[in-house]
Amino acid sequence: TQSQQPKLRQPIVVVLGHVDHGKTSLLDKIRSTAVAAKEAGGITQHIGASIVPADVIEKLAEPLRKLIPIKLSIPGLLFIDTPGHELFSNLRKRGGSVADFAILVVDVTKGFQNQTYESLDLLRSRKVPFLVAANKIDRIPGWTSYPDEPFIISYERQSEEAKRNLEEVIYGKIVLSLSEQGFSADLFTRIKDFTKTVAVVPVSAKTGEGIPDLLAVLAGLTQQYLKKRLQYAEGPAKGSILEVKEIPGLGTVVDAIIYDGVIKEGDTIVLNGKNGPIITTVRSLLMPAPLSDMRAKGVKFVSVPEVQAAAGVRIAASGLDDALAGSSLYVATSPDEAKEIAEKLRGEVKELIFKGDNVGVIVKADTLGTLEALLEALRRLNVPVKSADVGNVSKNDVLEASLTAKADKSLGVILAFNVKVLPEAEQEAARSGVKIFSDNIIYHLLDQYTEWRERLKE
Ligand code: GTP
Ligand code: MG
Ligand code: NA
């Protein structure tokens, strides 16, 4: 009977792939949102999380369900959107590390590219099962679009030429690249054993074709093969920190994925910080509305007394200033247990800590994720960094930079990504002549600085 069926949580599905292959557009189509259109520079620069409830999945898959009965036993899907730009491998790893399942998005007009391979390596090393969304089929020569139709129906209506062109990219590009990487793959309609063969699902994020098939395969595979993993536990929550950011009025908060158990207001949580493990008390739990992406601008959060796995949740608590993105997060049920967990977490931390150079630039960013990406880019450019922090540019930052400028003008600067320059900082910079480079597109910020540095040398 129904009551004996174990309750399943939402599978956590990470969307990975090369820049501009259509990850965010695909999620936009599923959620009926327009996140991609509003992104600075047309690229994703933050990790996102959004819930798609079961009734929305059922409705989108309806045209297909007339042909194939699909019964959902999962309450929905929790999607993690990641950036495809090469500088954000940190965020791809973070997404990959919490995933139960993945969608590898490949643009059919481009095939496998650098970050497609990088994503595949990540999935292989973490043993994350995945399917391939072969996106942008509307651009296949000769293709006639049937908006929102299942692929299996649209395909039957295509001309022989369009069918041939589709097969050519699916097998000549995608299946071939996967087989070179050691994966056996096939068009999802031709697969007999989904545990042995990677499913390739042709879709168009633009027309919605293939979305019913994608969701049906996704739901089918996760609820069938990951049942054990998805069995929901009532116990204390376990999670992972996706981002650390400053929110006016709330102070420093963490955005976390809860993959097991329950977290409540007032719970004791343990996570890693720059100066060792942090033990603190949950002040409030904030949830984005279903179908909205928690990283997007202007998303409304509502305060809730408790959150069950799986979910993306914003946690406000004191003492989170030093919290580290990428850290595990646990709810502790007693002070002794909190200490025990803290000891376990201590070992996890080494790779997450930044050590500043004696002389170097000052970097400020809106989240720890973008800060890490900037630091990685500067490391590759051999630019030393004196300090790096999440938050607005303050007068103190300018004073520090002006000290450096006395020793080395090219390093006495501030690089600010997607943050404000506070008025006192602006005044101090005008007074001391410190350059502040500010942008909301990561590669523009880097270009601005490197071009200025070149001119300085001349
Ligand atoms: P990053 O997050 O920056 O890596 O990009 P992304 O993979 O999220 O791709 P995004 O959704 O930003 O889409 C990139 C471009 O491709 C946009 O101009 C989209 O409108 C376009 N696009 C996405 N999907 C499709 C599709 O199915 N067909 C066509 N014709 N264009 C698409
Ligand atoms: Mg994107
Ligand atoms: Na993009």
Reported as a single tens digit per residue, the pLDDT across 203-220 is 999 999 999 999 999 999
For residue 386, pLDDT over 80 is answered with: yes
Asked if the model's pLDDT at residue 246 lies above 60, the reply is yes
Secondary structure of 357-408 as H, E, C letters? CCCCEEEEECEHHHHHHHHHHHHHCCCCEEEEEECCECHHHHHHHHHHHHHC
For residue 349, name the pLDDT band (cuts at 50, 70, 90). Answer: low
CA gap 109, 204 in Å, rounded: 12
pLDDT digits (tens, 9 = 90+) for 142-165: 999 999 999 999 999 999 999 999
Name all residues whose Cβ lies below 6 A of ligand 1. 17, 19-25, 36, 42-44, 83-85, 135-136, 138-139, 204-206
User: Residue 445 and residue 380: Cα distance in Å, rounded?
Assistant: 15
Q: Look at residue 351 and tell me whether its pLDDT is greater than 70.
A: no
- pLDDT value at 107 more than 90: yes
CA of 82 to the centre of ligand 2 (A): 6
Mutate to test the pocket of ligand 1, among 25, 45, 81, 149 (most ligand atoms within 8 A of CB): 25
Is the backbone peptide bond immediately before 310 cis, with ω within 30 degrees of 0?
yes
The pLDDT value given to residue 353? 60
Of ligand 1's listed atoms, the one at least distance from the Cα of 44 is: 2
pLDDT at 69 (0 to 100) = 73
Please give the annotated binding residues for GTP, written as ranges: 17-24, 81-85, 135-138
Given this model, what pLDDT does residue 92 score?
96
Q: For residues 345 and 207, which has the higher predicted lDDT (pLDDT)?
A: 207
Residue 350's pLDDT is what?
Answer: 59
* Mean local confidence (pLDDT), 400-409: 96
Q: Which atom of ligand 1 is nearest to the CA of 207?
A: 27
Q: Tell me what percent of the residues of the chain surpass a pLDDT of 70.
A: 98
Note the pLDDT tens digit of each residue in 51-83: 999 999 999 998 887 777 778 999 999 999 999
pLDDT at 1 over 50: no
ipTM associated with this complex: 1.00
Ligand whose nearest atom lies closest to the CA of 19:
1
